[in-house]
Amino acid sequence: MAVVEQDINDRYAIYLGDCCEVMPKLKTGSVHLSVYSPPFGGLYHYSSSERDLSNCRDYEEFFTHYEFVVEELFRLTMPGRVTCVHCMDVPSGNTGNDHLRDFPGDIIRLHERMGFHYIARYHVWKEPLGVRNRTMVKNLAHKQIVDDSSRCSVASADYLLVFRKHGENSIPIAHPNGLLNYAGERPIPPELFTYRGWKGNQIENRYSHWIWRQYASAFWDDVRIGRVLPFKQAKDDEDEKHVHPLQLDVIERCVVLWSNPDEIVLTPFMGVGSEVYGALINGRRGVGIELKPSYYRQAQRNLQYALDGYTEGLEQMALIDDDKDWLPEDVHSSQPAGGAQPRQHETETPFAGLVQGTPSPVLRDGRGAVGAGK
């Protein structure tokens, strides 16, 4: 299969294909940062392809498949640099008497086994009534407290897990004038704006210090949950559900905290392009891989907006409404989907620019060049 289609320019390279086949073609130590949401251990089914990690037969098979991805991410990551995994606890179902699976814990143990150090866990806060109304999770209903509170549960946070590859970071991620932009919903105290981009002693930089306090908190209760890329048009006719894009505030924080301008930010599970988009609008370069053609096409459209600088309009198009269909009635009863594979055509030069030793339009020049960490 390798690459079915690709779209490459000097800011990004995106591939329609299976990340387990595309990543082995990328150069060791060439990625400065990776940010992504893996398919959530069987919670959603994105496509009928057996290459789709969401179609694994069970939780154990998912981790066997996912281990290959993490192993590749370890090889690709520059020494001393970071990979960020967005995930959540996985509910056993929505019967009203369910339990949770410690998906984040299993992800942490896998990364440690692959050689990463676990360095942080951020909690992206979700407002309970909003979660209940959006998902119709039974054990979050107020009625449950009234009837039998032994069955009530929590509006789980999303988690952002951060892992660092061992070794010396040869290119410091410096912010000599502090942090310049805040991605979140809290109003910045107006008196701090005079310090933005402060050139003097950074101890005096109250603007950057304020942003740092929001970002360094273990609880990110200021993420704009609805600030995501357009995704609904990416739904295929036969899909029961649509993809759930990662919030742009989360991505922007990762990109700014853990990469330099022009560096390479990778997502092996690109969906509609959010991580690549977050990289581009922050002056980084993005590499994304996506298996499902309709998501890949939506990513192409979304990234074109980023290249054109029409980001505000794009983000306004995407406000989530009435998004109730994310949780199946009983996760464990969902069988892996069979059915036809998407039609695939090999391209003649599938990894233009990413094969070892060839010049790359995306990864060329400067300190962000691929191979810098080799």
Site of interaction with ligand SAM (CB under 6 A) = 18-20, 36-37, 39, 46-47, 51-54, 243, 245-246, 269, 271-272, 274, 289-292, 295
Q: Cα(281)–Cα(164) distance, rounded to whole angstroms?
A: 24
Query: Token pair 């298996």 is at which residue?
Result: 291
Residue type, 114: M
Angstrom distances, CA of residue 198 to CA of 167, 172, 193, 260? 32, 20, 10, 19
Angstrom distances, CA of residue 170 to CA of 75, 78, 196? 16, 9, 28
In whole angstroms, how close is the CB of 302 to ligand SAM at the nearest point?
A: 9
In whole angstroms, how close is the CB of 105 to ligand SAM at the nearest point?
A: 19
In whole angstroms, how close is the CB of 255 to ligand SAM at the nearest point?
A: 13
Nearer to ligand SAM, 204 or 346 (CB): 346
Do residues 357 and 10 touch, judged by C-beta distance below 8 A? no
Nearer to ligand SAM, 129 or 317 (CB): 317
* DSSP-H helix ranges across the chain: 19-22, 59-76, 103-114, 128-135, 142-148, 206-216, 248-258, 274-280, 293-308, 311-316
Nearer to ligand SAM, 32 or 227 (CB): 227
Nearer to ligand SAM, 64 or 150 (CB): 64
In whole angstroms, how close is the CB of 127 to ligand SAM at the nearest point?
A: 20
Q: Cα(235)–Cα(109) distance, rounded to whole angstroms?
A: 33
Q: Cα(102)–Cα(154) distance, rounded to whole angstroms?
A: 14
Nearer to ligand SAM, 84 or 211 (CB): 84
In whole angstroms, how close is the CB of 83 to ligand SAM at the nearest point?
A: 14
In whole angstroms, how close is the CB of 271 to ligand SAM at the nearest point?
A: 2
Angstrom distances, CA of residue 252 to CA of 49, 179, 211, 244, 277? 31, 12, 13, 17, 9
Nearer to ligand SAM, 111 or 196 (CB): 111
Nearer to ligand SAM, 211 or 306 (CB): 306
Nearer to ligand SAM, 114 or 266 (CB): 266
In whole angstroms, how close is the CB of 348 to ligand SAM at the nearest point?
A: 21
Q: Is the dihedral of CA 104, 105, 108, 110 positive or negative?
A: negative
In whole angstroms, how close is the CB of 153 to ligand SAM at the nearest point?
A: 22
Contacts of 90 (CB under 8 A, 6+ apart): 40, 41, 42, 43, 100, 101, 103, 331
Pairing of β 3-8 and β 100-101? unpaired
Q: Cα(299)–Cα(276) distance, rounded to whole angstroms?
A: 9
In whole angstroms, how close is the CB of 269 to ligand SAM at the nearest point?
A: 3
Residue nearest to ligand SAM (CB): 271
Q: Is 349 exposed, middle or buried (0-12, 13-18, 19+ CB in 10 A)?
A: exposed
Is 326 strand, coil or helix?
coil
